Structure 1
């Protein structure tokens, strides 16, 4: 027992804690409020005043996915000569907000870009609120390096490809062009865009706040280059055809023209030239008329050049016999109040004579013997009035009127090439049946691994017979004599067609045509020449188009190493 207990005294408890003073309480609360105010102020500062800086820092420290451009496939001729290639170029871009305001640096940048300082300043001011602008697209690597060597803040580079066409204007309409983003825009570049373009690749990178590459982290997808396209075109023949066509258009002050040359054994397009043309490597001041591939997309009435095809239809269906003679006197005839004329009165003509003299009266009288529409049916079987199937953008189908309520004059007109429309490519393809013993070969813009199987359209004996008639058309003393090729037998047919306009035919406006097959003994090429609206006294097909064929075919046969087949009497 404790002493206190023994003495009976109760122990004292400690006094309670004294309450907090008012001064101390106010101080603590003041400190808490100040801390909260500082925290709110910092939040406001970060979200309002420092937001652009922080956003830039955040962007600078994020992962990016960059696109790796795919190399566009090359287009070559049948011998591997390049017709369209892609070369590496550099595009310079900038963040306008990072570009310096210093006039000296901007002047140096403008000079290196080949621009005026005022022009550059105006563009920078226009894009001031954005973070991207092009400075110059598709520069050569050397020129771009001179700009980058200035080390102007905010200027960056990006690798791209630019399309280049070694042949320039010679093959422009067939090949087409790509736009500034290297996407097919015209011609075969557009038709085979997915195949030529390839598939871009992807990579994950880390960039700094100025968009400069800090680290290449990983390859996500390799770029797959586009496929190469091999055309049936022979660039040697193409140059020669284009040269002769351009000379003829200039000589006759014509509006334009086309030359199409097919391989008679395969249907491959060996040459396809057009006028007017353009330089796809320099499109400043480009005339849109030059973009059009007239040989494929333009159609017109063919006139007398289809008479051999109509003759084949009439022979095959028994409308005429080998000894048929037609009286074409007095050189004109009236059908349904329409007058059909020849150049003069040829009198009695056999079948070969009708083609040689190009008698409209003779063809009309033969056509009126038919009881069925065999001529338009043959035209259709030969590919006229139908798509050629080349895949070329905008290829024309032409037209052949349906045999409903035809008048006698319409029936006759089809036999001498009026009342229907065709393209130069369709004409050339149709005559492969004459050159290939009755089997028509579809045209091909691409090189074929092996010759296609022809489509039987005309009896072989009939095709050979018509070829022989066309052989006699191109002879000394005939209207087609200017198509003669020294050393070779040529089968052909001239045509002169009045151009149409709203309400009828134009006065003194013509198209001059020639279709030729050479050599006759073993046909290798089928060629169509069309000159649009030659001016002056010479506008007949034999005077304007036939000489072009002679020069084009003569050079082609020698380049293809075709042995001469001319008879001594022909020479």
Structure 2
């Protein structure tokens, strides 16, 4: 019989129970109670007792962090106006809108209304929102008209943010574009007078404190922390009426002559203020989207101030004045131009016909190359160059216009006869259209040279006498024969006003270099009116006409006549000459 096995005893000993001391239990309970009391006290301090400084400051700061914002107050750019106060460049307020794609998603219930008011495609807007889903900022609309932005703001959509900006607007459009220039997207000047006077025109921005609701809408303005300062206004010398008229005539002439370009300058003969300065072709500064960068750069170039040119026969009065001043000849002295040509230094200078023995005045009237050359060789190059320099050629005019051309007036150590001859009738040196107008203003102003001003002047500048009044008066009478019957500029003759001036036709260099082209010309006419007391100086330049006509007397003189006649009427200058019909009626009586 098998004996039963007795179970083995478990020898594992259990640890005696740990006895926690009573004081430790009470200590833990006390700490927990104190923490609860401290929390209650802090809540009471912040909420029940808000008048305490600490509680008020905390709540105020917490509230301001959520509702109070600082906003920019843009300082608008100064207005550019003409001499009569008509605006030429103004800054108009526009609104740029951005949004938070995390608050405005592609499923937003008002998204269709938002797209409609912003003139946007709903599908494209949804796609853009999906692309920016993980961003907190997205540009929505830039430079929107304020009334359109107000309709969007009326939707009261949370997550839309509005910023007022300014955009430059030019009421005269292409008429004054190259004179005024343009600004960039930040309303800073980039070209022409906008650039030259950028610091003067630019305002300084300020800041204001506002209270906004949870949707970003301004519910209260707290105050201005920094005041904005507007830019200073700028009054130009130009008369917008003359500017429009001159541009119309120039654009018509360039189109009719199929010319590459053209420029007209109108100066006040008394003050040398620029009453009109136009170029064609031009561009619309309010909409430059259709122009490529290189096209825009070309269109913005102010040819009348920046470009250099050889003035051709319009310079002859000054080389002949050098001869008159030196006492070599008088205005009635006879110069033999037979046989109508003159060989000088390997080059033959030719007149259209053989004028034979003619007076110095008739050399001007007929623009004789032979007569001018003979006088120049007798006068000498130093005296001729000195005359040019005294009337303002070869030096900056000081208008402040960016890129202003001072021209090029070389001074040679040795003067070959052919160089002297070329100098005498407008080759071998360069000037600008505006500089040529300044030179003619010296004759119109009885020998006094005054600075040219693009800005309106309050007082007539004294100027500097560079010619005797007698010499200037002699040249006036000689130039008057050019616009009368038989003169090369007779097409510049006016029915009601006496005029004086000089035509010019300059060959242009070949585009590839290597001398002058046989089919490229520049047509010019420069003069002033009325003769006895000149009120305006006008210079007209038409470059590369392609109708078969290219002489200055054919192309530029008629434009001079129309511009001068209209300008004198707009300036209310009384007519000097009675209409022919009135004279006939008086005789019949």
The aligned residue for residue 163 of structure 2 is: 158
The aligned residue for residue 496 of structure 2 is: 487
Bigger shift: residues 477-486 or 256-265: 477-486
Indicate which of 89, 112, 122 corresponds to 2:94. Answer: 89
The aligned residue for residue 350 of structure 1 is: 359
What is the TM-score when the length of structure 1 is the normalising length? 0.86
* Equivalence map 1:5-404=2 (5 Å): 20=20, 60-61=65-66, 64-102=69-107, 105-121=110-126, 123-124=128-129, 130-205=135-210, 212-213=217-218, 216-286=221-291, 287-288=295-296, 289-371=298-380, 373-404=382-413
Q: Deviations over 1:443-489 (max 9, x none)?
A: 11111101111211112111110111000111013221110111111
Measure how far apart 1:510 and its partner are. 0.9
Alpha-carbon distance in structure 2 between the residues aligned to 1:127 and 1:364: 76
3-state secondary structure, aligned to 2:353: coil
8 Å contact kept, 1:331–1:344: yes
Alpha-carbon distance in structure 1 between the residues aligned to 2:451 and 2:480: 24
Bigger shift: residues 151-160 or 559-568: 559-568
Distance 1:165 1:142, change over 3 A: same
Task: Name structure 2 gaps, 5 residues minimum.
Answer: 1-17, 36-61, 584-589
The aligned residue for residue 565 of structure 2 is: 554
Measure how far apart 1:199 and its partner are. 1.6
1:469 partnered with 2:474: no
Measure how far apart 1:281 and its partner are. 2.0
8 Å contact kept, 2:239–2:276: yes
8 Å contact kept, 2:524–2:541: yes
1:508 partnered with 2:519: yes
3-state secondary structure, aligned to 2:178: helix
Alpha-carbon distance in structure 1 between the residues aligned to 2:449 and 2:430: 19
Measure how far apart 1:507 and its partner are. 2.7
Indicate which of 478, 482, 489 corresponds to 2:487. Answer: 478
Measure how far apart 1:323 and its partner are. 4.3
Task: Name structure 1 gaps, 5 residues minimum.
Answer: 1-17, 36-56
The aligned residue for residue 3 of structure 1 is: none
Alpha-carbon distance in structure 1 between the residues aligned to 2:364 and 2:419: 20
The aligned residue for residue 431 of structure 1 is: 440
Indicate which of 572, 575, 579 corresponds to 1:564. Answer: 575
8 Å contact kept, 1:100–1:152: no
Alpha-carbon distance in structure 2 between the residues aligned to 1:309 and 1:128: 74
Alpha-carbon distance in structure 2 between the residues aligned to 1:224 and 1:307: 52
Measure how far apart 1:118 and its partner are. 4.5
8 Å contact kept, 2:367–2:488: no
Measure how far apart 1:386 and its partner are. 1.5
Bigger shift: residues 264-273 or 330-339: 330-339
Bigger shift: residues 121-130 or 441-450: 121-130
8 Å contact kept, 2:106–2:126: no
Alpha-carbon distance in structure 2 between the residues aligned to 1:253 and 1:109: 50
1:414 partnered with 2:423: yes
8 Å contact kept, 1:431–1:440: no
Bigger shift: residues 409-418 or 94-103: 94-103
Measure how far apart 1:86 and its partner are. 2.2
Distance 1:120 1:187, change over 3 A: farther
Distance 1:310 1:223, change over 3 A: same
8 Å contact kept, 2:342–2:348: yes
Indicate which of 451, 475, 478 corresponds to 1:442. Answer: 451
8 Å contact kept, 1:492–1:517: yes
Bigger shift: residues 280-289 or 449-458: 280-289
8 Å contact kept, 1:312–1:458: no
Measure how far apart 1:135 and its partner are. 1.9
The aligned residue for residue 528 of structure 2 is: 517
Measure how far apart 1:58 and its partner are. 11
Distance 1:307 1:131, change over 3 A: farther
Alpha-carbon distance in structure 1 between the residues aligned to 2:332 and 2:107: 94
What is the TM-score when the length of structure 2 is the normalising length? 0.83
Distance 1:60 1:422, change over 3 A: same
8 Å contact kept, 1:297–1:394: yes
8 Å contact kept, 2:322–2:383: yes
Alpha-carbon distance in structure 1 between the residues aligned to 2:92 and 2:462: 39
Measure how far apart 1:83 and its partner are. 1.6
3-state secondary structure, aligned to 2:481: helix
Alpha-carbon distance in structure 1 between the residues aligned to 2:214 and 2:444: 70
3-state secondary structure, aligned to 1:334: strand
Distance 1:541 1:156, change over 3 A: same
1:545 partnered with 2:550: no
Distance 1:336 1:211, change over 3 A: farther
Measure how far apart 1:350 and its partner are. 1.6
Bigger shift: residues 329-338 or 269-278: 329-338
Alpha-carbon distance in structure 1 between the residues aligned to 2:370 and 2:131: 72
3-state secondary structure, aligned to 1:487: coil
The aligned residue for residue 15 of structure 1 is: none
The CA RMSD measured in Å over matched residues stands at 2.8
8 Å contact kept, 2:273–2:456: yes
Alpha-carbon distance in structure 2 between the residues aligned to 1:91 and 1:324: 74
